[in-house]
Structure 1
Amino acid sequence: MLKELNQQRRAKAFTDLKIVVEGREFEVHQNVLASCSLYFKDLIQRSVQDGSQCGREKLELVLSNLQADVLELLLEFVYTGSLVIDSANAKTLLEAASKFQFHTFCKVCVSFLEKQLTASNCLGVLAMAEAMQCSELYHMAKAFALQIFPEVAAQEEILSISKDDFIAYISNDSLNTKAEELVYETVIKWIKKDPVSRAQYAAELLAVVRLPFIHPSYLLNVVDNEELIKSSEACRDLVNEAKRYHMLPHARQEMQTPRTRPRLSAGVAEVIVLVGGRQMVGMTQRSLVAVTCWNPQNNKWYPLASLPFYDREFFSVVSAGDNIYLSDTLERSCRKSSNSFVSQQQSEVQTCFPRI
């Protein structure tokens, strides 16, 4: 049926809608176009209802916000299901398809663009998808850009994105970087691309760099000597904060800020640990020695080193740094206070300390 309708369209036979774009006339069937585009369906209905087309043989719509060659490709897809799409026209076609609500056409463009994502274009595609509220392409481009940050940081495109988009990108916990120094260097490059207008944002940008994870020697030899940093009191305060973090490891618990939270690529995460517990075995309860942790970043459970005792209960548990401390355990048989333990989970070792 569509093949016959397309032949009629080309012959301008039985068409009842004329669309005028950039001086070119396109004759189509109202029902075909309305079935594929909610935008045109609503536009046709309103034009018929307001009576502005009375006396005309065909309904006529004049559009000023669309290119004629783009409309031609859209109509070709509507009537044939085929589409000539390439890297040169994909963005333009998607913008038009999204604007005029050709949803099937949008899916084809999105699928094409997802396969064409590279380090040199992913941020541009991300910004376009956000502007068009194209969630599928947005999430795909975002995940892609975050995963290959070192490659993206080497491209010119990152130096041209807006300040807000730049901050949203480098502040993301999922930014995949093995060295926070690269994030810092990218910030400096972005500012120096247009220092007259961008230097004012130095402190705002530096605040989303995880400076405490930069090596101390790099802080002293590179960051401290950067003129953009030296000329800003707010920037110097951020650098000094990072220095204190390195100099006072035992006070890090009191220095928690968004900058001290490791990125996911660092392989470090805050977890919830379950220690011991009770289990019904027949008619009796048995104390558990299992220690497990839940990682909220990937929603998975992991086993840790088990407790070194079976018949203790009413113990206290506290964490400090990477260690978990258990104290004041009681033997169930005699309610005798026993030793304290420290569980060093990285080495899966428990060390016993005599009770003081």
Structure 2
Amino acid sequence: MAQGSSSVFNELRLKEELCDAVIRVQNEDFHVHRIILSGCSEYFRSLFTLSHPADQVYQINQMSPEIMQVIVEFAYMGSEEVNQQNVEELYIACDFFKVTGLMDACLRFMGEHLSKENCIDIWQLTETFICPTLNNDAFHFILQHFTEVCASSEFLKLSVQQLLKLIETDQLLVRDERTVFEAVLCWINHSPEERTTYISQILPKVRLALTTLDYIMTNVRNNKMVMCDTECQNTVLTAETLLNDAIFYSPGIYHPLARPRLPASILLAIGGQIKNDIPTNVIEAYDICADIWVNVTNTEEETRSHQGAVFLNGSVYCVGGHDGFNLLRGDSRFDLTTHTWHQVAPMTTRRCFVSITALNGLIYAIGGYDGQNRLNTAECYDPETDEWLSIAPMHERRSQASCTAFQGKVYICGGFSGYDFLSSAEYYSPESKRWTLIGPMSTGRCGLGVVALGEQIYAVGGNNDGVHLSLTEVYNPRTNSWHRVTPISSPRTNFGAEVVDGRLFVIGGYNGLNYISKVESYDPNTGEWSEVTSMGISRSDLSSCVVSGLNNMIDYAAPRDISLDHPRAFTDMPV
């Protein structure tokens, strides 16, 4: 309906002129024109067509007057008065009365406003009314925010089938499996007379062997519901056996009680140099939950070392570097959903040994080496415009430095100026568009790793005039000073450094004799480094980044889908 005619008909409605029907909802009358309501609703079209011509008043009991008002205004003016308070009731009414245009608006609104408070309601609603896309979105929202959602009163409204569907899913995001067990207890205790009988169905879906023996003995085995159920006692015994015997399986073969959940984030190690200084295009993905590296190389990508990498908006951007023959100016973007590489606009300057980070939706490429000079220049890439723009130069020329985004600024530390190994550090403020020097590190070094973790910045490893360092320093912005913490066990230069799940990881690099595959992680809570599984190949001058929020995270995680009938799986387990 044209805008002019719609306003005319609405004016007639408001004046109750030329109206030929009355919709009565809870004693409130809506004077309408049959032809207008028939144009937006199959229900009203059928109602008016099949009713006796003399009928003028139609009693409607399936909605409130407020919802009928929204539908009428949509029919006349095309207005979509959808909000958090009315969207679910409005959607149900639109589904019943076949007001498809407004029903679509409700679905869009719910999809755009999924929250920890409404995701379960939306999941249940779209399951009942068969809206597969939004139902899937709501389901994955619950999985990704399970810790917060299970603490809400809405969680207690789940059916047992819905609860089982959630907790048996690998994509359920929890840092600690104890969260799942305690959520189950809370759900049962909300209605114990009805729900206690489900404990034997639910407990095997909790991956108890991912907790600890002490937790099982103290909190699970002695639980009254568990003690009174023979099947639950067998489940607990199996979990204890798995933990006691420290049983490990080949990748992809897990007992159901020990099967790792999918991680919230995946660490990628990209390119670099391998034996004989040959650049590689190998990409490995580290699954922190399974402690396994997986080769996810895409052969479309060119070989590249000394480059930078950053994750932004579902893609990995590889910037600068060297292909073994030439310095690279062209940059590429790997779409993690489609597994395809795309060329993006090249930087204004060729840079290898470049420092890369992302801040506020932009990518910063800082310093590096252009084949002749170490650089103090920097530039910024906007993916929206596919354009690089120069920003203010640094105070120092820096190649083989390292940078990180921290508290709304870009910090860069160390590097090689062409003459000196730098201990200086500085930050760039996008607001002031200026670089500011901060307190220097205790030791000049290049090839180091710099990351933000918690409220501080960590600088790890590096090289000072041929000496490869294990030194780890921490910058406190409140005091503008550095202090040393526990050093890494393996000195290294030109490695990857990233934060995953609150821990600092250092990956690969060069130790003065060999390229290495060794990986270590630092826990700021204990102040200690520990080894994790090494990469599949030894390499230096690699880049790294952490990816998260992917619907296809399983594509980059360790395999978990080998058949449970595999001959090597679960031998000698109690039943």
**TM-score of the aligned structures, taking structure 1 as reference length:** 0.69
The worse-fitting range, judged by mean Cα deviation, of 83-92 and 195-204 is 83-92
Distance 1:203 1:171, change over 3 A: same
Contact 1:344–1:350 (8 Å) recurs in 2: no
Question: For residues 347 and 7 of structure 1, what CA distance do their matches in structure 2 show?
Answer: 73
Tell me the residue number matched to 1:176: 173
Report the CA distance shift for 1:164/1:174 in structure 2 as closer, same or farther (over 3 A): same
Which position in structure 1 is the counterpart of 2:440?
A: none
| 2:209 is aligned with 1:212 | yes
CA–CA distance in structure 2, aligned partners of residues 128 and 116 of structure 1: 15
Query: Does 1:185 pair with 2:179?
Result: no
Show CA shifts across 1:76-114 (max 9, x none): 122122344433222211221222121221232233333
SS in 2 for 1:61: strand
CA contact (8 A) 1:53 1:60 kept: no
Matches of 2:70 and 2:145 in 1, distance apart? 34
Structure 2 distance, partners of 1:349, 1:2, is: 67
1:197-236 Cα shifts (integer Å, max 9, x gaps) = 2111111111211122222222223212222211111111
Runs of 4 or more above 6 Å deviation: 290-295
Q: How does 1:138-217 map to 2 (within 5 A)?
A: 138-217=135-214
Decide whether the 8 Å contact of 1:183 with 1:209 is kept in 2. yes
- One of 214, 221, 226 as aligned partner of 2:223: 226
Whole-angstrom distance in 1 between the partners of 2:115 and 2:83: 15
* Structure with more strand by fraction: 2
* Letter matched to residue 107 of structure 1: D
Provide the rounded CA distance (Å) in 2 between the counterparts of 1:167 and 1:114: 24
Q: 1:119 to 1:349 in 2, by over 3 A?
A: closer
More helix by share: 1
SS in 2 for 1:173: coil
Q: Secondary structure at 2:205's aligned position in 1?
A: coil
Structure showing greater Rg: 1
Judged with a 3 Å threshold, the aligned counterparts in structure 2 of structure 1 residues 250 and 154 are, in CA distance, closer, same or farther, namely closer
* Distance in structure 2 (CA, Å) of the matches to 1:240 and 1:293: 37
Q: What does residue 18 of structure 1 align with?
A: 22
Question: SS of the residue aligned with 1:206?
Answer: helix
**Distance (Å, rounded) in 2 between the aligned partners of 1:260 and 1:173:** 11
C-alpha displacement at 1:176, in angstroms?
Answer: 0.8
Task: Call closer, same or farther: CA 1:221–1:24 in 2, change over 3 Å.
Answer: closer
**Residues 39 and 75 in structure 2, CA contact (< 8 A), matched pair in contact too:** no
Q: Give the number of aligned pairs.
A: 282
* Partner SS, residue 231 of structure 2: helix
After TM superposition, give the deviation of residue 64 of structure 1 in Å.
2.3
Per the alignment, do residues 186 and 100 of structure 1 end up closer, same or farther by CA in structure 2, a change over 3 Å counting?
same
Q: CA distance change for structure 1 residues 83 and 293 in 2, over 3 Å: closer, same or farther?
A: closer
- 3-state SS in 1 of match to 2:296: strand
- Give the CA RMSD over aligned residues: 3.3
Shift of 1:262: 2.2
Matched, 1:125 2:133: no
Q: Distance between the aligned counterparts of 1:53 and 1:194, measured in 2?
A: 51
* Alignment-mate amino acid for residue 176 of structure 2: A
Separation in 1, partners of 2:36, 2:295: 53
* 8 Å CA contact 1:245, 1:255 repeated in 2: no
Structure 1 Cα separation of the partners of residues 194 and 83 of structure 2? 36
Identical aligned residues as a percent: 26
In 1, Cα distance between equivalents of 2:12 and 2:243: 76
- Rounded to whole Å, the distance in 1 between the matches of 2:257 and 2:172 is 13
In structure 2, the residue matched to 1:262 is 260
Tell me whether 1:53 sits opposite 2:52 in the alignment.
yes
Q: Which deviates further from its counterpart, 205-214 or 26-35?
A: 26-35
Unmatched runs of 5 consecutive residues or more in structure 2: 267-280, 287-293, 299-516, 520-532, 539-575
Q: Whole-Å Cα distance in 2 between the matches of residues 265 and 293 of structure 1? A: 15
Distance 1:129 1:98, change over 3 A: same
Corresponding residue number in structure 1 for 2:83: 86
Following superposition of structure 1 onto structure 2, how do residues 42-121 of structure 1 map, counting pairs within 5 Å? Answer: 42-45=46-49, 47=50, 52-54=51-53, 56=54, 59-121=56-118
Match of 2:35 among 25, 31, 35: 31
| 2:436 corresponding residue in structure 1 | none
* CA displacement at 1:292 relative to structure 2: 8.7
Structure 1 letter corresponding to 2:87: A
State the match for 1:347 in structure 2: 534
Equivalent-residue separation in structure 2 for 1:114 and 1:255 (angstroms):
36
Aligned match of 2:487: none
Unmatched runs of 5 consecutive residues or more in structure 1: 269-289, 305-342, 352-356
